[in-house]
Amino acid sequence: MDGAGLARRIVDESAATAAEILRRTGTAPCLATVLVGEDPASVTYVRMKRNRCARAGIESRHVALPADSTTQDVVAAVTALSKDPEVHGILLQHPMGPHIDERAAFEAIAPEKDVDGVTMHSFAAMGFGLPGFVSCTPGGIMRLLDAYEVGLPGKHAVVVGRSAILGKPAGMLLLGRNATVTYCHSHTRDLSSIVRQADVLVAAVGRPRFISGADIKPGAVVIDAGYNEGNVGDVDFGTAAERASLITPVPGGVGPMTIAVLLEQTVTAAARRFGLS
Ligand code: NAP
């Protein structure tokens, strides 16, 4: 499944909508990025996201906070952005450091600006099937499944991993589309036998080549959200591709979709702010 190609199309569409918003309101959509400290991976992620924004005609405003910022400092910075009418979306990069209450920091994001889908409000809206912003990686996974017209009702979807930003919401979105969902995690017994039943498999573990091709049901759709050192996913692509009907590569699968959904949701937030959607 060509995540890179689909992501390009989504970014192109978002750029066209951003240009239309600028033309009609005189204001470009604006994403605020907040980075606490200078973790090299986080610095790179934020730079990448801001570069993509620039190419799509989305302005970005960067707030860099020192590593020794307190929870109150971060909450204050995010609250100011939540109140700023010129900011349409907020991305608070994490991890933020063990001394910071990340949940408190995320909850300072106004729901209508939560374009990364990290607040309890967004999570609950997704759970209820109400409009709101979804966590970007699970949102990207669903867009891929839709683009390839993967029928979900009645299918057995197995999600390996249950993090709040990835595995858990991915399973909830699949459930919302009438798949029968099984979650696996580090306490799951006989993981192989469950993975072997999957019509749709979502791997979100963070362990290189953790799932072998021998466990892929012939004809299954395999979504590999893992991104591990050495640019490898959680699924052993070579052996899994021999059995899967559709499979995402790493890189070029789920990864680019995450940023595309972030940009799309930023443009949507701006359009809603101006009453254009
Ligand atoms: P995480 O918070 O570390 O969660 C990992 C999940 O895997 C946990 O639910 C954990 O179970 C489960 N797990 C760990 N060992 C297991 C085992 N032996 N058997 C079964 N389950 C096991 O990671 P994450 O943030 O969800 O990320 C997962 C992967 O996705 C990483 O490779 C990450 O880089 C990648 N990722 C990619 C994107 C993207 O844009 N493409 C975005 C986010 C993440 P417990 O809950 O029981 O601990």
In a domain, 5, yes or no: no
In a domain? residue 265: no
| pLDDT tens digits along 33-83 | 999 999 999 999 999 999 999 999 999 999 999 999 999 999 999 999 999
List C-alpha distances in Å: 8 to 256, 257, 258: 8, 9, 12
**What pLDDT is recorded for position 277?**
83
- Is 1 inside any structural domain? no
The reported pLDDT for the residue numbered 35 is: 98
- Statement to judge: residues 89 and 161 lie in one domain: no
> Active site residue: 2, 12, 39, 49, which one?
49
Give the Å distance between the CA of 119 and the centre of ligand 1.
19
Can you give the pLDDT at residue 123? Answer: 98
Smallest CA separation from ligand 1 atom 40, residue? 255
145 lies in the same domain as 237 = yes
CA dihedral 97, 107, 84, 28 (to 10 degrees): 80
- Segments of the chain with pLDDT less than 70: none
pLDDT tens for residues 167-186?
999 999 999 999 999 999 99
pLDDT for res 167: 98
Name the domain boundary from 113, 146, 176: 113
Spatial separation of the C-alpha atoms in residues 129 and 161, rounded to whole Å: 21
Contact present, 237 and 243 (Cβ < 8 Å): no
Residue 76's pLDDT is 98
Omega within 30 of 0 (cis) for the link into 40: no
149 dihedral zone (left: phi>0; alpha: psi -120 to 50; beta): left
Is residue 243 included in any domain, yes or no? yes
Separation CA 43–CA 66 (nearest Å):
13
Same domain as 236, residue 188? yes
Is 51 in the same domain as 101?
A: yes
**Which structural domain range is residue 68 located in?**
25-113
Residue 121 inside a domain? The answer is no
Q: What is the number of domains present in the chain? A: 2
Same domain, 95 and 146: no
Q: Which atom of ligand 1 is nearest to the CA of 233?
A: 32
Beta-bridge partners for 247: 222
Domain at 167, CATH number: 3.40.50.720
